[in-house]
Structure 1
Amino acid sequence: MSKIDVNDAMLAYDEAGSGSPVVLIHAGIADRRMWRGQLPALATRHRVIVPDLRGYGESELPPSPFAHHDDVIGLLDALGVARAALVGCSFGGKVAMDTALAYPDRVSALALFGAPVSGTEWSEETEQLWDELVGEADPEDFAATAAGEVRFWVVGPTRRPEDVDPELIRFADEMDRRALAAELALSAVEVSELDPPAIDRLGELAMPVLVGTGADDLADLRRLADRIAAEAPQGVRLPDVPDAAHLLPLERPEPVNAALLDFLP
């Protein structure tokens, strides 16, 4: 692990390999450790950079206003990278997409797994499912909230907990507890969003775009993946990966790695 000053915040990151640069951006319920299955595989061909977003994992959270997509470019600047492919899962996919729209000349390709899109809202179906599985947990009760969020995201709406690798559930729960503490701290800081948001700008994604989801992820996200791939001029939709939910790269690294090695420039 290394740390580097990015826009007046010390961001933690891992780095391995050489070749064309690739940045892996973690989910909002996780940290950079979720890419443990991708880092060694991609490093055989690429310079792979895996940061903790500001406030998450081992990265700092100064009180000054910021935008996650500005931090991604700040990280590239600090590491002397002119252009990179961005790979994002979940919230990390949203950050990656926003970065590609805000700084199109800096992004060579975009790969998105289970990615929401800025400017969209969840369906009533998803809201009801959230109420059933997570409910109104005390935001400072990280254990109870993490248990509900792991049930919602990592197990997914179409599986039972006993259908899922218990080590995956344990690791996801550990990461999510840390992420919940990060989100609580982030709520006290001004975080800028992309303006205008991405949902009506998908046609501006001129770079190659790869989009994938787990077959057991939320229907909202599978529909969004269809839309991104259809509207991005060079969009490619991967078939849904069976027996996988929201943290697809962590749960099923082999098909994700194969797709990425085939796709990345």
Structure 2
Amino acid sequence: MTKIDINGAGLAYDDAGSGTVVVLLHAGIADRRMWRSQVPALAERHRVLALDLRGYGESELPPAPFTHHDDVVGLLDALGVDRAALVGCSFGGRVAVDTALAHPERITAVALFGAPVSGTEWSEETEQVWEDLVGDVDPADLAATAAGEVRFWVVGPTRRPEDVDPGLIRFAEEMDRLALAAEQALSAVEVGELDPPAIDRLGDLGMPVLTAAGADDLADIRRLADRIADEAPHGTRLPDIPDAAHLLPLERPDAVNAALLDFLPAR
């Protein structure tokens, strides 16, 4: 792990391999450890930067307002990297799209796994799934909240917990407890948003864009993967990956690695 000062606070990241640069952006219920299978695979031909987004994992909160998408470019600037490809899962995908729209000259390609985008409105169907699977949880109880979020996102609406690797569930709950604490801390800091948001600007994504979703993820997420690929001028939609929900890079690493190695520019 390396930590570098960006806007007055340290951002933590792993740096592996050499070649064209790929930045990995984690889900909001996770941290950079979720890319444990992608870093060694991609580092065989790329320089891979797995970043803890601001406040998550080992990254620090800044003393002043910030935006996640500007942090990504701040890291590139600090490392002397002109251009990079972005790979994002879930919230990390949202950050990737915002970065590509805010700084298009810096981004060569975007790969998205189970990604919403800024400005997304969840359907009543998704809200009902939450009620059915999780219900009311005391937000102060981080363990119970993490268990509920992992049931919702990692197991997904069409599977039972016993259908999923228990090691994956334990690891996801561990990461999510830390992520929930990070979100509580972030609530005391002014976090800027892309304006206007990305949902109506997908046609401005001029670089190659790859989207994918798990077959057991929320219908909203799978529809968003369709929409992003349809509206991005150079969008590609992978078929839904079977027997997988929201954290595809952790649950189906071989499929994700193969897709990324096929998609990411080697030079």
| TM-score band w.r.t. shorter chain | over 0.9
Q: What is the distance in 2 between the residues matched to 1:134 and 1:105?
A: 42
TM-score by length of 2: 0.98
Kindly indicate whether residue 147 of structure 2 is the aligned counterpart of residue 166 of structure 1: no
Structure 1, residues 4-51: CA drift from partner, whole Å, max 9, x if none? 011222011001000000000000000000000100000001000001
Corresponding letter in the other structure for 2:178: R
Q: What is the distance in 2 between the residues matched to 1:121 and 1:6?
A: 31
Corresponding letter in the other structure for 1:194: L
- Mind listing any 5+ residue stretches in structure 1 that lack a counterpart? none
Q: What is the distance in 2 between the residues matched to 1:239 and 1:22?
A: 23
Q: What is the distance in 2 between the residues matched to 1:128 and 1:64?
A: 37
Q: What is the distance in 2 between the residues matched to 1:109 and 1:140?
A: 39
Corresponding letter in the other structure for 1:250: L
Cα offset for 1:65?
0.7
Identity, % of aligned pairs? 82
SS at match of 2:175: helix
Q: What is the distance in 2 between the residues matched to 1:105 and 1:242?
A: 35
Structure 1, residues 107-157: CA drift from partner, whole Å, max 9, x if none? 000000000011111000101111222333222210000000000000000
SS at match of 2:33: helix
Structure 1, residues 175-234: CA drift from partner, whole Å, max 9, x if none? 000000000111111100000000110000000000000000000010000000000000
Kindly indicate whether residue 85 of structure 2 is the aligned counterpart of residue 85 of structure 1: yes
Q: Is the 8 A contact 2:22 2:84 kept in 1?
A: yes
Q: Which residue of 2 aligns with 1:127?
A: 127
Corresponding letter in the other structure for 2:253: P
Q: Which residue of 1 aligns with 2:58?
A: 58
- Mind listing any 5+ residue stretches in structure 2 that lack a counterpart? none
Corresponding letter in the other structure for 2:89: C
SS at match of 2:138: coil
Corresponding letter in the other structure for 2:132: E
- Aligned residue runs from structure 1 range 70-109, under 5 A: 70-109=70-109
Q: What is the distance in 1 between the residues matched to 2:188 and 2:224?
A: 30
Q: What is the distance in 2 between the residues matched to 1:74 and 1:9?
A: 12
TM-score by length of 1: 0.99
SS at match of 1:77: helix
Q: CA RMSD in A?
A: 0.7
Q: Is the 8 A contact 1:133 1:149 kept in 2?
A: no
Runs of 4+ in structure 1 deviating by more than 4 angstroms, as ranges, are none
Kindly indicate whether residue 245 of structure 2 is the aligned counterpart of residue 245 of structure 1: yes
Kindly indicate whether residue 54 of structure 2 is the aligned counterpart of residue 43 of structure 1: no
SS at match of 1:5: strand
Corresponding letter in the other structure for 1:76: L
Kindly indicate whether residue 118 of structure 2 is the aligned counterpart of residue 118 of structure 1: yes
Cα offset for 1:63?
3.7
Corresponding letter in the other structure for 1:258: A
Q: What is the distance in 2 between the residues matched to 1:8 and 1:69?
A: 16
Q: Is the 8 A contact 1:118 1:194 kept in 2?
A: yes
Cα offset for 1:62?
2.5
